[in-house]
């Protein structure tokens, strides 16, 4: 029995009755009858407490592990937009598997999320094993990433772990530039290193890691990552020449129809993309630096475990 005190100070009783006269709409419904013997038709229907299964299935959670920060957010999987604020915690130093896993658990706990989790790592991932350790601690090599993250998030939780740039590529195809869905497209994430996602008619060829391709005797990411720009205090003009050199090598090997550039520095694409001279068109990623989180959430929804 619920009670309400009216304006006159007299108590009026509300009886809670489930069902009759109230549509369910896939959520919990309660019909409130006013008075002990309420006349037919005087009712208030409330809906509360639970999201429909269909709506719940369209919300996911992704975590993007980067060389400088680990970021996580709820994602609306119908639009690719974040729900609420993104959570960011600095990547621990050293970025050992356990230290990173503990930070991931902290983000999930802070977000109060108890559903499936998608996680990106800056590593080649096959059979849920880390096969490389770029921009993270060397102890990641051959780490069983499923066992690692289940150890901190729970053995019964659904977890998907994939390469960070691959996740960004999946997200861009689903929610970003429509040109990513046709032809041979190379998406590059410019940050601590250079990640790559090779897309052929919208399908991902995973784990390309073209940031490690040798260009003029050096790994591409040691020439033209955004971290190099900051470390060497390069102007956009000087840095664009380095990016040009790397893109020309990718162009020579793959003959893509489009380059898509992502990462945090893509927010200022207008300052450097027009300075590039490669023949292949270059456009900024539409999801920019949220692509990794969105792609991770997609992977968790779809149960992807490369």
CA separation for the pair 27, 48 (Å, rounded): 7
Residue 20: its pLDDT value, please? 37
Higher pLDDT, 3 or 133: 133
| Ordered domains of the chain (ranges, CATH) | 2-50 (no CATH), 58-166 (3.30.420.40), 177-285 (3.30.420.40)
Q: 218 forms bridges with which residues in the sheet?
A: 215
CA separation for the pair 289, 168 (Å, rounded): 8
Cα dist. 20→9, 26, 51 in Å?
30, 15, 21
Residue 219: its pLDDT value, please? 97
Nearest one of 108, 91, 94, 53 to 296, comparing CA atoms: 108
DSSP conformation class of 144: B
pTM: 0.79
pLDDT tens-digit map of 20-73: 344 333 333 333 444 444 444 444 433 334 444 555 669 999 999 988 899 999
Residue 72: its pLDDT value, please? 98
Average the pLDDT over 115-139 and give the result: 94
Nearest one of 161, 170, 160 to 290, comparing CA atoms: 170
Q: What is the DSSP string of 49-103?
A: S---HHHHHTEEEEEEE-SSEEEEEEEETTTTEEEEEEEEEEPPSS--HHHHHHH
pLDDT tens-digit map of 209-257: 999 999 999 999 999 999 999 999 999 999 999 999 999 999 999 999 9
Read off the pLDDT band of 272 (50, 70, 90): very high
């Amino acid at each position: 029995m619920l009670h309400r005190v009216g304006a006159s100070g007299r108590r009026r009783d509300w009886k809670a009755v489930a069902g009759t006269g109230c549509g369910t709409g896939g959520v919990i419904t309660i019909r409130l009858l006013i008075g002990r013997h309420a006349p037919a038709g005087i009712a208030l229907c409330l809906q509360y407490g639970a999201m429909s299964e269909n709506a719940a299935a369209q919300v996911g959670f992704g975590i993007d592990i980067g060389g400088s920060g680990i970021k996580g957010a709820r994602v609306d999987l119908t639009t690719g937009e974040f729900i609420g604020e993104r959570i960011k915690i600095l990547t621990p130093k050293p970025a050992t598997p356990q230290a990173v896993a503990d930070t991931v658990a902290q983000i999930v706990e802070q977000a109060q999320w108890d559903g499936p989790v998608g996680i990106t790592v800056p590593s080649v991932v096959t059979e849920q094993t880390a096969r490389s350790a770029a921009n993270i601690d060397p102890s990641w090599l051959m780490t069983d990433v499923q066992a690692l993250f289940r150890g901190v998030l729970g053995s019964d939780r659904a977890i998907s772990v994939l390469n960070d740039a691959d996740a960004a590529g999946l997200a861009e195809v689903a929610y970003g530039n429509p040109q990513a869905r046709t032809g041979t497209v190379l998406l590059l994430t410019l940050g601590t290193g250079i990640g790559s996602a090779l897309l052929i008619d919208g399908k991902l060829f995973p784990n390309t890691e073209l940031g490690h391709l040798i260009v003029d005797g050096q790994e591409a990411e040691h020439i033209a990552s955004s971290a190099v720009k900051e470390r060497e205090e390069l102007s956009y003009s000087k840095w664009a020449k380095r990016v040009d050199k790397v893109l020309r090598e990718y162009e020579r090997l793959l003959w893509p129809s489009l380059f898509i550039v992502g990462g945090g520095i893509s927010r200022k694409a207008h300052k450097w993309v027009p300075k590039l001279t490669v023949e292949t068109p270059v456009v900024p990623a539409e999801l920019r630096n949220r692509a990794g989180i969105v792609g991770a959430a997609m992977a968790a929804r779809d149960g992807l475990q490369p």
